[in-house]
Amino acid sequence: MTTTQLTLAAGSFIPGQWEHVTFSPAGITPIESFPAFDPPTPCFQTLVGSVGGAIVFDVVASDPDAGDVVTLTATGVPSGASFTPALPTQGNPVMSHFDWTPSSGSGGSYLIQLVATDTLGHQTTCDVTLTVHEVALTCPPDVVEVWTNGPPNQILPAHTGFAFWIDTCDPSAVPTYSDTITPGTQPGDPETFVVRVWKLNDACGNSLSCTQTITLLSPSTGGMLDAAPAQCPNVFDLADSTFVFSLTAGAAMDAVDVDLASLRLERVDGIGAKLKSFALVLDDRATPFWGPIGTCDDEGPDGRVDIVLTIQTSLASRAFRLGLVPDGAALAMRLTGRLLDGTPFDLRDVIVVQH
């Protein structure tokens, strides 16, 4: 549509009186209309979203002048966001669909400026503000350690770790947790297995959860598994020909009480095979170390005879698929077996794989 502009000289009218004005359209310059953004374009609005949730909107722009073509462009588009069709795009009307799912670390405010330009270069802008809230919850690592004083003290978060969280939508939100303890809560049970569910609920309606497991191994057999006895850290060097584990005896367990045929060595994560081929000797190599699995000491003999298991590195590497373990990575191992009276035991330690 074309409009006209009429300029009348001062003094052409007498105040209070009506005059008939006649003019010829000849020489009057048409004024071209500017493009405009049409609904549902969210011009000068703020759209609120969260990390992991999609933010979408449609953009429509047009120009009332017949024959005009509108070009749509945008600046300030966040990384990973897209327009479909991609910008710049043209038409009259011209349309595009915005879609963005913010990833972790994308919290903050973003200003997108949409620009509609017609054939003569007339421009109209439309600002859209995006506010992205970062809401995340990460559980502390799983814990495996030998029973010392048991629940509740031994499984308090001050000992087993707190969840990490961030919530820019509701800074006052704080995670909570609940525990399911099975099968027992006292020494003598095979082991105590705690499933801890951490939850984060905020005033914005976000609800997140994650699970941490805490395993307390029963010390009732009185023994410990010591990888690389008298060394710390427990480096398993694949270049060596052999590696040694020691089943260290304790006050409630003597090496002669172990059913040697029942011994099985395996990865805690279950990858690979169980190993039952060892060179076994009775020797005093190490002192039982009571603490979280993965910690160690370099204490030597303690006066009690231990069961020393020497394994071929090549055999262990194949059985436990150690070649696929990254250099320097920690790997939890377990030795299971029975005492001669049938009492089962499950002893654990951590090795550090070195290529």
**Cα–Cα distance measured from residue 57 to residue 130, given in angstroms and rounded to the nearest whole number:** 11
pLDDT for 12-67, tens place per residue? 444 444 444 444 455 555 567 899 999 999 999 999 998 888 999 999 999 999 88
Encode 103-135 in three state secondary structure. Answer: CCCCCEEEEEEEEEECCCCCEEEEEEEEEEECE
In this prediction the pTM is: 0.49
Domain 224-354 has CATH 3.30.70: no
| pLDDT of amino acid 256 | 86
Is residue 235 within 8 A of residue 184, CB to CB? The reply is no
Mean pLDDT to the nearest integer, 79-100:
97
**Cα–Cα distance measured from residue 162 to residue 124, given in angstroms and rounded to the nearest whole number:** 52
Tokens at residue 341, please? 């009276």
The class level of CATH for 38-133 reads mainly beta
> Identical fold at 38-133 and 224-354?
yes
**Cα–Cα distance measured from residue 33 to residue 215, given in angstroms and rounded to the nearest whole number:** 73
Question: What φ, ψ does residue 318 adopt, rounded to 5°?
Answer: -70, -45
**Cα–Cα distance measured from residue 132 to residue 47, given in angstroms and rounded to the nearest whole number:** 8
pLDDT at 1 over 50: no
| pLDDT of amino acid 191 | 67
Mean pLDDT to the nearest integer, 220-228:
71
The band of 161, judged by pLDDT with boundaries at 50, 70 and 90, is: very high
Of 100, 106, 166, residue with least CA distance to 132: 106
Residue with tokens 């069961």, as numbered in its chain: 307
**Can you say how many angstroms the Cα of residue 90 is from the centroid of all Cα atoms in its chain?**
40
The band of 167, judged by pLDDT with boundaries at 50, 70 and 90, is: very high
pLDDT, greater one: 106 or 58: 58
The residues, ordered by sequence, that sit 6+ positions from 99 with a Cβ below 8 Å of its Cβ are 54, 55, 56, 81, 82, 83, 84
The band of 186, judged by pLDDT with boundaries at 50, 70 and 90, is: low
| pLDDT of amino acid 22 | 46
| pLDDT of amino acid 184 | 59
The band of 331, judged by pLDDT with boundaries at 50, 70 and 90, is: very high
**Cα–Cα distance measured from residue 240 to residue 74, given in angstroms and rounded to the nearest whole number:** 61
Q: Is 336 helix (H, G, I), strand (E, B) or coil?
A: strand
Of 264, 296, 259, 286, residue with least CA distance to 277: 264
| pLDDT of amino acid 223 | 67
**Cα–Cα distance measured from residue 79 to residue 106, given in angstroms and rounded to the nearest whole number:** 9
Angle at 146 between CA 143 and CA 150, to 5 degrees: 85
pLDDT at 158 over 80: yes
**Cα–Cα distance measured from residue 168 to residue 174, given in angstroms and rounded to the nearest whole number:** 12
Domain chopping of the chain, boundaries: 38-133, 142-217, 224-354
The band of 267, judged by pLDDT with boundaries at 50, 70 and 90, is: very high
Residue with tokens 């493009």, as numbered in its chain: 35
